[in-house]
Structure 1
């Protein structure tokens, strides 16, 4: 099995990194490792929808699971491998109340033995990598020793790849949004972790906004995971392969990216889907360009209307040109 390229990845983001966004991202970068939104074991096992659906073009693609029942996680990991996913990632970083009540996410940092059991259960039934995304600490448990004890325990169960969000999480008193912004970033702690655990594959996440910053992190670490910036300013993905992964293929223009999205959008519409299911992900494509506000406004005002079709995209682009 060819190892996954972890140089650059896009963070799992609830309500954002769905299969339409991931298809869009893949047009711009062939090398980026993509992650699903977090999917709970309960949704996969008991839910009525198909929570494992994706487009074949999205590979390499990791499924992020939320859960803390080792047996359920193993069941879901096995299903995901059968469906063709390239990696299973366990969420030990999300701080929301809903997630804590389900006993998964960041609160699991306080239970490293349970996380190790979950990792071991999944690894015993799949051949694809099982990885963990976590924080540098939670609440008052934020010493370097606390972090290394967690890493020691979980890596002993066979997990050799960790994605570290370089902030601690406050489980009480801060919203998930505030937990992405208020706790201070501590990149140096993640660098130290890599120095102390050189055999492990360690990626960093949190507050990364530019490819220059990615390149700086890659001097110290194996990979960089970018979240909000890759969503709100998606065109930064167009140079990931060239600047970070050594590709010599030409960089696609914004218009070329949009052109490549059109057949996918038309197929979605023909299948009965709504235009705004996809356009909500692509409104940031022209961020920073002259006329981008006109583009965004036209799309957001018209894409949600009943019967809205591909002409909305063309007209939005024309309104941008008019500026």
Structure 2
């Protein structure tokens, strides 16, 4: 979710669900330790929040995990699932599935210095190494070092020949393999990711697994998060309306603008708020055409919403 689930998106998402565990975009150890910016910055309202790390050096990962714990993150997640060339060249992401001993060493190094959970997100296989035995060997080696929480993207990754986008769509989904993993490792917390687009689907997965991760759907159709607490967590709290989400975002947007930020840094994450509803196109178009302009403020967001209301009442 590079460039997608930044702190602005996560603040927006948290308005709709108090219980969903939010993940940062993947941040490399090099960026945290040597970058010029503060790559661990977040808003306190985002909790519960997991830092998703990319790296393969146990010492560097341990340093970053310790910094994350000191900053108040609720979890550190090691990404062993991203298949992009840039990630492979840095020797992290999905290519690490071929090095379970190294992943285990990384997990162990992080667990030695933090009390918060250290978890792993991975695939069901890579390239021609996609047998169930390959997956279980990976789980065996990594769990032996104390990792008890795995999120499994139910597709294998082709490290050569497919783009990251194609790797999210072309390799077939195999949910049953993840279910079998849970049956064979009942003491582990096993979550699932990949191709999940409704909360009803999430309920079916949760009947057999411990967690469900949504990526693209939660970004492109963010209002799906508004019923997570009620449908999946048993909350009796009323579902927040889209209009109330917008109203709640306005003070946050104003604060961002006062600090020198631009409106489109935030509104780009709000484009899909009305996905599938009458007026959604008017909302998207107005924000896209106006939020990037110099001096744009909250009046752009208000006008975009008024355009929806006008289109719906015509």
**What is the TM-score when the length of structure 2 is the normalising length?**
0.99
Matched, 1:308 2:296: yes
Deviation at 1:318, TM superposition (A): 1.3
Instruction: Indicate the larger mover: 287-296 or 55-64.
Output: 287-296
Matched, 1:36 2:32: no
Alpha-carbon RMSD:
0.5
Work out the CA distance in 2 between the residues paired with 1:269 and 1:161: 39
Q: What is the aligned partner in structure 2 of residue 259 from structure 1?
A: 247
Work out the CA distance in 1 between the residues paired with 2:115 and 2:152: 23
Counterparts of residues 18-33 of structure 1 (less than 5 Å)? 18-33=6-21
- Extract structure 1 runs of 4+ deviating beyond 6 A: none
Residues matched between the structures, number: 311
Q: What is the aligned partner in structure 1 of residue 205 from structure 2?
A: 217
Work out the CA distance in 2 between the residues paired with 1:291 and 1:96: 36
Structure ranking higher on relative contact order (CA contacts 8 Å, 6+ apart):
1
Listed one character per residue, the Cα deviations across residues 42-99 of structure 1 (whole Å, up to 9, x for unaligned) are 0001100000000000000000000000000000000010000000000100001110
Listed one character per residue, the Cα deviations across residues 170-193 of structure 1 (whole Å, up to 9, x for unaligned) are 000000000000000000000000
Deviation at 1:317, TM superposition (A): 1.0
Work out the CA distance in 1 between the residues paired with 2:261 and 2:194: 33
Matched, 1:122 2:110: yes
Work out the CA distance in 2 between the residues paired with 1:34 and 1:298: 28
Q: Among residues 133, 136, 140, which one is paired with 1:148 in the alignment?
A: 136
Q: What is the aligned partner in structure 2 of residue 60 from structure 1?
A: 48
- SS of 1:174's partner is coil
Work out the CA distance in 2 between the residues paired with 1:222 and 1:318: 41
Matched, 1:189 2:177: yes
Work out the CA distance in 1 between the residues paired with 2:68 and 2:163: 30
Structure 2: unaligned runs, 5 residues or longer? none
**What is the TM-score when the length of structure 1 is the normalising length?**
0.96
Q: What is the aligned partner in structure 1 of residue 223 from structure 2?
A: 235
Work out the CA distance in 2 between the residues paired with 1:156 and 1:255: 48
Q: What is the aligned partner in structure 1 of residue 262 from structure 2?
A: 274
Work out the CA distance in 2 between the residues paired with 1:235 and 1:20: 15
Work out the CA distance in 2 between the residues paired with 1:236 and 1:96: 27
